[in-house]
A = this chain, B = another copy of it.
């Protein structure tokens, strides 16, 4: 639990990065060029952090877009090929693909290469990827906590990471220089970097991210199942709160499916706590216990003040809506 920092203080990243860690990579392989992968590629381009960017995706259409956007110096659909000669491999695909990709690319990794990722759960990365990495390959799992509800290479933008937190969860014994290089890269992208134990990360993120997404998907799904004329009105009157849930529930379906499957235990634990609390609130409504409701509604305001205090209340700068004013 080291390296805490205020991400707001970080908005002018120092070119020196993380102490002595060199910022520039010879050859970066990005596997998966969606919202996060393409945003990272834009940072690498903007700050000239990679001698060569090799991009791997399943579809040629996606690779064409990546090339057209100037994000790839070379492209391939083959994970084995993309990692050749790379000193940094960044996995930016849904978590459920990691094991197969690791198996495919493993034999192609050069000695000293750093393998990192951007997935929303971290224990499973160590479980699924490390068996395929030879000695001398450094696994540094990472999670830049930033995103929008948009998907695909066109949705990315370099500013996505600015003033957000990035969590790294290197297993005990990981090469410190490798960790420092990955940390320096994310700091250069504008993030505050924290080192956490993978299990601890997974529990915290189950509450801050996975459970909110699960609930948003559920409530929008409940509305989806309504009779048609009710549904039209639900959409029309969505400004009362529902709208925010529809935005969250428009996030990438495959990515989120894999988050829930790979971080199952922590999500079920968080869901259990939530369900108990919801049942208690339901009872308070049924029995007209106004004091109990008001008491909770007052306490939750404190958490909001905390979010504002660490400057995480600002919505993501979004390509489509432009930077938020003020």
A contact residues vs B (CB 8 Å cutoff): 96, 120, 145-147, 149, 164-165, 167, 194, 203-205, 207-226, 230-251, 253-254, 256-258, 260-261, 264, 267-268, 270-271, 273-275, 277-278, 281-282, 285-286, 288, 290, 293-294, 296-304, 306-307, 309-310, 312-313, 315-316, 320-326
Contact A213 B241 (CB under 8 A): yes
Contact A215 B215 (CB under 8 A): yes
Q: Closest chain B residue to A120 by CB distance?
A: B240
Q: Can you report 9 residue pairs joining A to B where beta carbons are below 8 Å apart? A: A207-B242, A208-B238, A212-B244, A212-B245, A214-B278, A225-B277, A232-B306, A264-B285, A315-B315
> Which of B261, B300, B307 is the one whose CB lies under 8 Å from A290?
B261
Contact flag A257-B215 (CB < 8 Å), given A222-B207, A235-B303, A313-B243: no
Contact A261 B293 (CB under 8 A): yes
Q: Closest chain B residue to A291 by CB distance?
A: B257
Contact A277 B238 (CB under 8 A): no
- 8 nearest A-B residue pairs (beta carbon): A209-B240, A253-B297, A212-B241, A322-B325, A250-B304, A249-B300, A220-B300, A208-B242
Complex alpha-carbon distance, A299 and B323, angstroms: 29
Contact A145 B246 (CB under 8 A): no
> Which of B165, B167, B209, B290 is the one whose CB lies under 8 Å from A241?
B209
Q: Closest chain B residue to A214 by CB distance?
A: B281
Contact B274 A222 (CB under 8 A): yes
Contact B282 A217 (CB under 8 A): no
Contact B285 A267 (CB under 8 A): yes
Contact A235 B307 (CB under 8 A): yes
Complex alpha-carbon distance, A13 and B296, angstroms: 40
Contact A268 B286 (CB under 8 A): yes
Contact A96 B290 (CB under 8 A): yes
Query: Min CB distance, A244 to chain B, in Å?
Result: 5
> Which of B208, B209, B223 is the one whose CB lies under 8 Å from A303?
B223
> Which of B208, B306, B313 is the one whose CB lies under 8 Å from A240?
B208
Q: Closest chain B residue to A275 by CB distance?
A: B278
Complex alpha-carbon distance, A251 and B253, angstroms: 30
Contact B204 A211 (CB under 8 A): no
Complex alpha-carbon distance, A275 and B218, angstroms: 9
Residues on B with beta carbons closer than 8 Å to the beta carbon of A224: 299-300, 302-303
Contact flag A218-B322 (CB < 8 Å), given A235-B310, A237-B205, A249-B303: no
Given contacts A204-B233, A204-B237, A220-B300, could you give 11 more A-B pairs where the C-beta distance is less than 8 Å?
A203-B230, A209-B241, A210-B241, A215-B219, A218-B277, A218-B278, A222-B270, A224-B302, A257-B294, A268-B282, A275-B275
